[in-house]
Structure 1
Amino acid sequence: MQPKVEILADQTALIQRSLELMVEKIQQSVRERGICTIALSGGSTPRPLYEAIAAQNLPWEKIHVFWGDERYVPSHHPDSNEKLARDAWLNRVAIPAENIHPTPTDSGNPQQDAQRYEQQLQQFFQLSPGTMPVLDIMLQGMGDDGHTASLFPHTEALQVCDRAIAVGNKDGSPRITFTIPAINNARCVLFLVAGSGKQNAIEQVFSQTADPQTYPAKFIQPQGELWWLLDVAAGAPLQS
Structure 2
Amino acid sequence: MKKIVEVLPDKAALIERSRDVVLTKIQEAIQRSGRCTLALAGGGTPKPLYEALASQNLPWDKLHIFWGDERYVPADHPDSNQAMARQAWLDHVDIPATNIHPIPTDGESPEADASKHDTQLGEFFGVAADEFPQFDLILLGIGDDAHTASLFPHTQALQVCDRRITLGNKEGQPRITFTVPLINQAHCVMFLVAGAGKQPALAQIFAAEADPLTYPARFIQPQGELWWLLDQQAGQAVKG
TM-score of the superposition, structure 2-length normalised? 0.99
Distance in 2 separating the partners of 1:28 and 1:159: 32
Give the aligned partner of residue 219 of structure 1.
Answer: 219
CA positional deviation for 1:3? 1.5
SS of alignment partner, residue 95 of structure 1: coil
SS of alignment partner, residue 103 of structure 1: coil
RMSD, matched Cα: 0.7
Give the aligned partner of residue 177 of structure 1.
Answer: 177
Distance in 2 separating the partners of 1:69 and 1:53: 20
Distance in 2 separating the partners of 1:13 and 1:6: 11
Structure 2 residue 68 is matched with structure 1 residue 68? yes
Distance in 2 separating the partners of 1:131 and 1:154: 25
Structure 2 residue 231 is matched with structure 1 residue 231? yes
SS of alignment partner, residue 236 of structure 2: helix
Over residues 42-65 of structure 1, what are the superposed CA-to-partner deviations in whole Å (9 max), with x where a residue is unaligned? 000000000000101110000000
Distance in 2 separating the partners of 1:104 and 1:237: 37
CA positional deviation for 1:160? 0.1
Over residues 212-231 of structure 1, what are the superposed CA-to-partner deviations in whole Å (9 max), with x where a residue is unaligned? 00000000000000000000
> What are the residue-to-residue correspondences of 1:27-66 with 2, within 5 Å?
27-66=27-66
Give the aligned partner of residue 21 of structure 1.
Answer: 21
Aligned residue identity for 2:107 = S
Give the aligned partner of residue 10 of structure 1.
Answer: 10
Aligned residue identity for 1:37 = T
CA positional deviation for 1:2? 4.1
Aligned residue identity for 2:214 = T
CA contact (8 A) 2:2 2:224 kept: no
Give the aligned partner of residue 199 of structure 1.
Answer: 199
Aligned residue identity for 1:187 = H
Gaps of 5+ in 2: none
Give the aligned partner of residue 114 of structure 1.
Answer: 114
CA positional deviation for 1:108? 4.0
Q: How many residues align?
A: 240
CA positional deviation for 1:205? 0.3
Distance in 1 separating the partners of 2:58 and 2:157: 35
CA positional deviation for 1:208? 1.4
Aligned residue identity for 1:197 = G
CA contact (8 A) 2:151 2:157 kept: yes
Distance in 2 separating the partners of 1:196 and 1:6: 16
Aligned residue identity for 2:71 = R
CA positional deviation for 1:31? 1.3
Over residues 102-149 of structure 1, what are the superposed CA-to-partner deviations in whole Å (9 max), with x where a residue is unaligned? 000011411100000001001100111111110000000000000000
Identity value in percent: 60
> What are the residue-to-residue correspondences of 1:79-228 with 2, within 5 Å?
79-228=79-228
Gaps of 5+ in 1: none
CA positional deviation for 1:20? 0.2
Aligned residue identity for 2:64 = H
CA positional deviation for 1:76? 0.3
SS of alignment partner, residue 238 of structure 1: coil
TM-score of the superposition, structure 1-length normalised? 0.99
CA contact (8 A) 2:157 2:167 kept: yes
CA positional deviation for 1:32? 1.5
SS of alignment partner, residue 3 of structure 1: strand
CA contact (8 A) 2:154 2:213 kept: yes
